[in-house]
Structure 1
Amino acid sequence: MAVRVLGDTHALGRRLPQLVVGLAVYGASMALMLRSGLGLDPWDVFHQGLQRSIGLSVGAWVTICGALVLLLWIPMRQRPGVGTVANVAMIGAAMDLTLRLFDTPDGLPARIALMVGAILLNGLATGLYIGARLGPGPRDGLMTGLHRRTGRSLRLVRTGIEVTVLVAGILLGGTAGVGTVAYALAIGPLAQVFLPWCTVPGPAETSPQTPRKG
């Protein structure tokens, strides 16, 4: 499976560091949400369920599942970017490192605050790594690949994938709760807010004829 650098290379000096920071913050935010104990996003419910049923760390399952999902790109003839491979390699490791540094806080108010902060961080991280324009995450690529292959809407495909992994995760012992609902409602609007701030402009946006805004 060939790996490509997507888009122009003129801003690669910003794009690579932004990608690394975005993926590290993404993994950390997932760990903080887990430590809140109030529910996880659907994929992490699944990862936690695997950890509780089979063993290994949650971060290890994030990496393993990411790699397995990436293999599903082959029959769909999708080509990963540098960011796709980095997503598989970095997020689980960042999650496990953060889990070693933080414990679940005492008291419901502190746990709620941790959950809210984790969702906000996740929105920022999403804007950072997508805005680097170095390739989608493996799960996002699965969604777009299935959309292209089946002709179904992106919303329907994404909902089908996330409901499937959520139900499987719950059956395996993963934690779903108010945090799961809060994440589902908030992550789209948050990504929409952060993405314009974080997207690295292309050549047309930085050429002398087209001044950059902001």
Structure 2
Amino acid sequence: MTRRLVQLLVGLWLYGATMAFLVRAGLGLDPWDVFHEGLTRHVPLTFGQVVIVVGALLLLLWIPLRQRPGIGTVLNVIVIGVAADVTLAILPPADGLAPGIALLVAGVVGNGIAGAMYVGAGLGTGPRDGLWTGIVRRTGLSVRLVRTTLEIVVLVTGFLLGGTVGVGTVIYALTIGPLVQLFLPWFEARHVPAAEPAEA
């Protein structure tokens, strides 16, 4: 359990940090972060604070869906936003295309590793993932339909609010699933059976 908790915390911190990489790259964000960034242009909150507030509000939507949060869910809401703000405070915006591409690649790959780490810990889904899994469970609709619809809605809304959409948005959408699948076996928690009692 201790190892899983450490893995969860490291994964969540890395996830928030690599989100900041994508912000600083300036080449486009994933759909939810387009939404988060768009909100920062209209409310007196930092990017990380918006991530935290949105995550907390999404948990309220879990109530009618009868989703149960785990410790990973609660930590997800807090740690990712804090990590994003800390990294943004340290990391300046990319100065040119080449540094931007480097940050984009590091952000996408790092995000894939981080996602595999916190999912593999098996201590609860994040508030955004829990939303679509809850809708799928309650409605019987397909995962592809529900997840795609949600991400299109937040992407378009975020874009209209002023969030950054670009080539990075497309690259992220096409690669994040395969990357998480690639790295997940490295971090997936395995339950070790209890040892057989020694014979007298």
Fold shared per TM-score above 0.5: yes
Q: Helix, strand or coil: the match of 2:93?
A: coil
**RMSD value, Cα:** 1.1
Structure 2 segments unaligned to the other structure (5+ residues): none
**Partner SS for 1:91:** helix
Q: Which runs of 5+ in 1 are unaligned?
A: 1-11, 210-214
Of residues 126, 135, 143 in structure 1, which corresponds to 2:115? 126
2:62 match: 73
Q: Which AA in structure 1 matches 2:103?
A: L
- Comparing 177-186 with 101-110, which one deviates more in the overlay? 101-110
Structure 1 residues 40-95: Cα deviation after superposition (integer angstroms, max 9, x where no partner)? 00000000000012231011110000000011111111110000000001100100
Give the CA deviation at 1:208.
5.7
C-alpha deviation, 1:203, in angstroms: 2.7
CA distance in 2: counterparts of 1:188 and 1:208, whole angstroms = 36
Conserved? CA contact 1:53–1:173, under 8 Å? no
- The structural deviation recorded for 1:33 is 0.5
Q: 2:48 aligns with which of 59, 63, 71?
A: 59
> 5 Å matches for 1:92-107?
92-107=81-96
Q: Distance in 2 between the 1:186 and 1:112 partners?
A: 15
Residue of structure 2 in register with 1:8 after alignment? none
Q: Distance in 1 between matches of 2:71 and 2:154?
A: 26
Which of 163, 171, 176 is the aligned partner of 2:152?
163
Number of residues of Structure 1 aligned to a counterpart in Structure 2: 196
Structure 1 residue corresponding to 2:181, chosen from 192, 198, 202:
192
Check whether the contact 2:26–2:94 (CA below 8 A) recurs between aligned residues: no
- Give the match for residue 212 of structure 1: none
Partner of 2:170: 181
Q: Distance in 1 between matches of 2:27 and 2:90?
A: 19
Rounded Cα–Cα distance in structure 2 between residues aligned with 1:191 and 1:35: 22
Q: Does 1:83 align with 2:72?
A: yes
